[in-house]
Structure 1
Amino acid sequence: RPDDQGTYTVRATNPVGSDETTCKLTIRPVASIDTRPFVQPEHFAQLELKAPPPTKEDMKQMEAPKVVVPLKGVQVNEGSPVLLQATIVGKPTPNFVWLKDGAPLAASNRLRTRYDIGTKQVLLQIDDVRPQDIGEYVVIATNPAGQDSTICSLNVLPDKTVVDERPFVPQDKFRNLEAPEGKGPRRIEIIPGVDVQPFVSPEKFHKLDHVPPSERPERELAEPKRAPRVISPLTNCELEELMPVLLTTTIDAGVPMASFTWYKNNQPLLEGNRFTTKYDILTKVLTLQVLAARPDDQGTYTVRATNPSGTDETTAKLTIRPVASIDTRPFVQPEHFAQLEVKAPPPTKEDMEKMEPPKVIVPLKPIQVNEGSPILLQATITGKPRPKFVWLKDNVPLAASNRLRTRYDIGTKQVLLQIDDVRPQDTGDYHVIATNPAGEDSTICSVNVIPDKTVVDERPFVPQDKFRNLEHPEGKGRRPLEIIPGVDIQPFVSPEKFLKLDHVP
């Protein structure tokens, strides 16, 4: 601790004389909260899509990634989902990495990305967008033949939820409600039941459905009528829950242009903010996009194209693999957690000329300690150049923690591991491995933590046999049972018994 800083002296004395030595101990203070990362930022899992291993045919006819349809800028309200998509081709299938504002985009349970083989679209779905998601997004596609990328901006409109206090009807419109022009005040009538009188006369609506037909040029009418036709049908799709879904089909819309209707399990698919469908006239591709797929989205999907000349349809099955309600996938792989180790300085030329492999002189010793206490494991290990030390617990690398401290004392050649506030889960076998270019050595010990079994001390302060004569004191009969209203102030022990308490011989 900082108050341990000072000058330390040890004095050796015997009848013949004495000697002593002194040194200064300096403690560098650290922040009360240890802000050193246990995981380096670069080890956080990037949001990327790894391509399957390429086939021999792919490697013979390689094509560098090429952006066919780039990402498009999006502006969306806070809290909504958003889907960024680009069409990118390449052979073999590229790897895709996402960046935001020039830095790798870290994986998150709000982000989902996938590559749709059929449409060659790479997708990034962001759920529950927030103001901090604003920025420029880049997707980089790479394969052995080269790379390409596309960029777009995402703007999030903050949610400024307020009560709209503007009146739907200007206040002056109500001025004649009590007394319409030319008439006295209206009578107040209470009519039982539901008031079905319309606020607007039905006659006002009779022309709303009538839209005069637009006149088309004669040249359009010359094209012969043609029924719609499915060119490439829908394909079955199986995805993990929360992933974006793309169902695509190629349909010749016919003449006149067909209308498209989607069905799920033979029932018309209802609109929702997670469902979007569009038809590209040039490519004849019809797409149904479903954001953040849920288990109840699973089913058989059909799209039917209809015009006066006929109909055609295509069907596919969508399977959603459910995931745990809590996403337990690690954003950081366990092997990337900082190991508890002591790195050696770069060796000198002299060290390399006279190398000595690490050697355990004094091994670790087993220890048993009470829960909550600190412990120190220590071993003496030599080696030239100075070894690197790695700690294991139960044969697994010991992850760095603010309860653990390790260092190598050059003077005593001791490697030390201090564990503060030991807990039952610290019980196990501890192993330190020393390595240098000449070889390695190791030592092992066990740590046993005795749990803190704090209980209430139920032993009586006064032995039970001291109360045996309370009901019937020696030489006297039982005390009469007297009921006295109010507070019972009769002493359980006669005051005479206390006369000599203050007297100590």
Structure 2
Amino acid sequence: KPEEKKTTAVPAAFKEKPKDQIGLDGDRITVTCKVVGSPKPEITWFKNKQVIRKSKDFNMELNGETAKLTINDAYTEDSGDYSCEVWNEAGSQTSSFKITIKEKKGKMKRNRPKQKEEAKTEEEVRKEKRKSDAKKQAEQPAPEAAPAQSGITPIYEEEGPRRPLKVPPPSSGESTPTGPGSRKTSQPAIKLDVIDESGARVGHRKSSVVAPSVRKVKPNLEAHADAMAPVFLEKPENKLIIEGSSDFIEAVVDGNPFPQVTWLKGEKKVFEGPKFTYECDKSTGVVGLTIKKAKSDDESKYTLKISNPSGEERATFSIFVKSGKDDGIDFRNLLKHREHVKNKVDGESGERVDLRQVPEKNEDEFE
């Protein structure tokens, strides 16, 4: 068989680069250049980095080594920065030049009608070129795989044993389940400020007490066309507050017109200031009382009074202040004891009882 001639690829390059052109409005402008390369190079012309397409205004030719760009009817707006890119599989080269079109004296300036399609940018042309090259490679037949050796079965990654998934360790504040189906979790301990008699912070300690209450989002109230007496949708609840910390008490009320809200400590009105602040949202009906840096003097029976021209309603609740010292008292039992004693005092003799005295735990008494 005759030996096949091996051709060496030659990168595309300019043998003669395009030169700047100057003309008048309405002239025919021709730009020429010569290119070489193997395989035969292709040419793309650009104006201001946008591809020039063949049309009735622009004509591109490539005969042998000579390439031409012709503007059949030049307008002043054709002035600008041009470039010519020549490329093949072995390489590419770009050359820039300028075209200047001047107005003719005594004639009005002309404007070229806008083309329907916008010219492609230089980047879009490169993308299309890469796509066409990838398509050509995909059409080429894939090389045959080498046959497996006798007696050896190839093992692919997906056929091998799967590794067990790594379970991340539990984050701080979460406990690991102790058995199947277990969902036990633990809340992180909070730090409580230790306050001396003067009210100054002298340190902090850890406590297992749950953090202060979290506010819940309430839905908006329904609009009322007729007058409506005040009513409690949610009454305030008793609150146990750590001494030196802040917390809030809230309720949900309704009425038309919206009721006036008054907070009472015992029989005295609670005024806003450094210790207490009010909150009132007429759209949701949420009214709140925030107590800051609670002290033992704040422990008392409170009343929330709501009123409007149609009537008045009251709801009572108690605030208990837990000492900052960890004395090992069961405060759930203490809370039950205090509530029990208060009801007994109000309902019977009115005898004053020291609520700070903790009785021995008696399960039968509070069940």
- Could you tell me the TM-score, scaled by structure 1's length? 0.20
Of structures 1 and 2, the larger Rg is shown by 2
